[in-house]
Amino acid sequence: MTQLPDTARFSHVTDWVFDLDNTLYPHHSNLFSQIDARMTAYVSELLSLPRDEARKLQKELYREYGTTLAGLIQRHGIDSDDFLQKVHDIDYTWLVPDPTLGTAIHQLPGRKFIFTNGNRSHAERAARQLGILDHFDDIFDIVAAGLTPKPARQTYERFAALHAVTGPKAVMFEDLARNLSVPKSLGMTTVLVVPRNFEPTFSEIWEKDENYEDDVDFVTDDLGSFLAAIVEKT
């Protein structure tokens, strides 16, 4: 389902802010499953745990700290650079280039940013594989965020201050509703990008954000078509 945008709600937008994983590339590409598996392997090796125990701990850290990385830093003082390099050592050919999405992003009026809990290298490689990297003004990654992940308010405020982004003139695209709560409170228009037909190829119960529906202005399962509809009316 693609909820066509009320284009009048986007006529004021000068800054377009996109999450990366399962947002700029579609959920059904399953790319993040590679990262997920590598995080489990990292935890298993670090703590000498069987895979099932490592995965259980990984998910516990995600729920408590926002990212597995943040939890491992807090509890075990790991080297963030080592973690980020290892978990993003994946096969990006799983992503299919998306010229329609690239054209729509290019034609959006104003600045465009990638805002990710991953690192810059991961964002660059994924966006390059999609054929959309050159359409972005900058990438705000977990390192730029001081290793504090979304949905922490200070991370959004840090991004906004760095790039002089004013909430009422911005829109945020995300695949997790909880990550739209702060942008909504800052005055941003919010768009939730969901899996095609709401059928994830992989997910856990705890990834669902039913309590954040009021923070979502629009929902789409086809980002390219959603943006193209906006471009058509601008």
Q: What are the angstrom distances between the C-alpha of 118 and each of 12, 70, 212?
A: 29, 12, 23
Give the per-residue pLDDT at 224.
93
Give the per-residue pLDDT at 7.
75
Give the per-residue pLDDT at 213.
75
Number of helical (H) and strand (E) elements in the chain, helices listed first: 9, 6
Give the per-residue pLDDT at 207.
52
Give the per-residue pLDDT at 234.
64
pLDDT per residue of the chain (234 residues) written in tens, 0 to 9: 456 667 778 989 999 999 999 999 988 899 989 999 999 999 999 999 999 999 999 999 988 888 899 999 999 999 999 999 999 999 999 999 999 999 999 999 999 999 999 999 999 999 999 999 999 999 999 999 999 999 999 999 999 999 999 999 999 999 999 999 999 999 999 999 988 765 544 344 335 566 667 889 999 999 999 999 998 866
Residues in CB range of 194: below 8 A, 6 or more apart: 27, 175, 219, 220, 221
**Torsion angle of C-alpha atoms 100, 101, 106, 110, degrees rounded to 10:** 140
| 126 and 95 Cβ atoms separated by less than 8 Å | yes
Give the per-residue pLDDT at 206.
39
**Using CA atoms, how far apart are residues 65 and 73, in angstroms rounded to an integer?**
10
- CA 190 to the chain's CA centroid: 13
> What is the DSSP code string of 121-165?
HHHHHHHHHHT-GGG-SEEE-TTTTTT--TT-HHHHHHHHHHHT-
Give the per-residue pLDDT at 4.
62
Residue 34, H or E segment: helix 31-47
Give the per-residue pLDDT at 196.
78
